[in-house]
Structure 1
Amino acid sequence: MFTGIIQAVGTVTSLETHADDRRLRLGAGTLELDGIRRGDSVCVNGVCLTVRDLSGECFSTDVSAETLIRTAFSTLRPGDKVNLEKALTLATPLGGHLVTGHVDGLGVVVDRRGAGRSVAFRIRAPQNTTRYIAEKGSVCVDGVSLTVNAVRGSEFEVNIVPHTLEQTTLGGFQVGRRVNLEVDIIARYLERLLQGDKDRPEGSKITAEFLAKHGFMRDP
């Protein structure tokens, strides 16, 4: 589990292809590798990956064929910059929102414009994810926890403040860039609760009215 608060920007130093999967070697940048061991999880551009080995200020990880299909990792090349975050602990401040590192879909940057000292992006999301993206809700874009400013159809807007532009890879995003998207996990759980257990004739006792009554959502 992660928070979407990027701790360092790393660099792809090498990339090896093995059958249908790949092995990435990453320079960790300013990420503190103390305490990270083989088998630990690190979030790379929003994808939870397992550390295979460490050497100096670098670590390597294997990327499965499934991950290459479902994420933007197939476009990574040596020299590319990536957002890095170590796994959440009970002592870690939750400055963003809960991020699993399981990408829900690929988005595409369709517009970039200046907004004062910030930059506003409009991103087109896959149809199967848009119902989970809400105005003023949270979304994870290439590992970065962001607040949604507006939603219009299959597109949503986010505003990137100067600090985030400087401390992540988002400052380099241009129109056409493919990005890893993860929706707020709470939205998915709420949908599942509202669906109920369809295998039971009487259905689930968890309804929209029940959730509103107990303060989990507004009145339907």
Structure 2
Amino acid sequence: MFTGIIQSVGRIRRLEPRGGDLRLHVDTDGLDLSDVQLGDSIAVSGVCLTAVALETQGFAADVSNETLSLTTLGQLRPGDPVNLEKALRLADRLGGHLVSGHVDGLGKVVSMTPDARSQRWIFEVPAGVAHYIAAKGSVCIDGTSLTVNEVAGHRFGVNLIPHTVEHTTFHAKRAGDAVNIEVDVIARYVERLIGGGQASGIDVDFLKQHGFA
């Protein structure tokens, strides 16, 4: 699990084809890996990957064809920036929200508009993802925990403060770029429970009255 609080912006050092898929070599740009062991999880732009090798200035991770086809990792090139976060420890502060590192779908940057010192960004997502996103709820974009401002159909908006823009890959994004989207895991469980509401004894009417359905 992760928190969606980016710890470093690394860069892709090398993409190594291996047996039909890919091994990703990531320069962590000073992120301390002294407490990381082989087999530990590291989120790369919101995608949970397993460290299979620890290198002088980073780590390597194997990426399956499934992951390459369903996330932005398949579009990466050497030198591209990536958001990095080490796995959450039980004693850590939960500064963002609980993030699994399992991407639900690809979104697209629609626009960025200045708003005082901040920026308002609009994203578009597929229908299968959009219905999980709620105003004032949480969403994870490229591994970054953000609060949703508003939702309109398949589009939603967020506010990015200067610190977030400067210390994540958002500073390199442009309109039309693809992003990894992970919805709030609570929304998924609520939908699952409502779907089996009668069998599980859940009061679906109560959930609807309180905005959960």
Shared fold (TM-score, shorter chain, > 0.5): yes
Partners of 1:18 and 1:55 lie apart in 2 by 18
User: Which runs of structure 2 are paired with 1:103-182 in the superposition (5 Å)?
Assistant: 103-182=103-182
Shift of 1:114: 1.1
Percent of counterpart pairs with the same letter? 52
Shift of 1:147: 0.4
The CA RMSD measured in Å over matched residues stands at: 1.6
The amino acid that maps onto 1:8 is S
For the Cα contact (< 8 Å) 1:2–1:85, is it kept in 2? yes
Structure 2's unaligned 5+ residue stretches are none
- Residue 208 (1) aligns with residue 204 (2): yes
**Taking structure 2 as the reference length, what is the TM-score of the superposition?**
0.95
Question: Cα deviations across residues 96-154 of structure 1 (Å, max 9, x unaligned)?
Answer: 00000000000001111111111111100011011110001000000000000110100
**Aligned position for 1:11:** 11
- Residue 79 (1) aligns with residue 75 (2): no
SS at match of 1:32: coil
The amino acid that maps onto 1:93 is R
SS at match of 1:66: helix
For the Cα contact (< 8 Å) 1:132–1:188, is it kept in 2? yes
For the Cα contact (< 8 Å) 1:2–1:98, is it kept in 2? yes
For the Cα contact (< 8 Å) 2:149–2:156, is it kept in 1? yes
Q: Runs (4+) of structure 1 moved beyond 3 Å?
A: 209-213, 217-220
Structure 1's unaligned 5+ residue stretches are none
**Aligned position for 1:26:** 26
Question: Cα deviations across residues 10-34 of structure 1 (Å, max 9, x unaligned)?
Answer: 0100011224311110011131101
For the Cα contact (< 8 Å) 1:209–1:219, is it kept in 2? no
- Residues 96-105 or 107-116, more deviating: 107-116
For the Cα contact (< 8 Å) 1:44–1:84, is it kept in 2? yes
* Aligned length in residues: 213
**Taking structure 1 as the reference length, what is the TM-score of the superposition?**
0.92
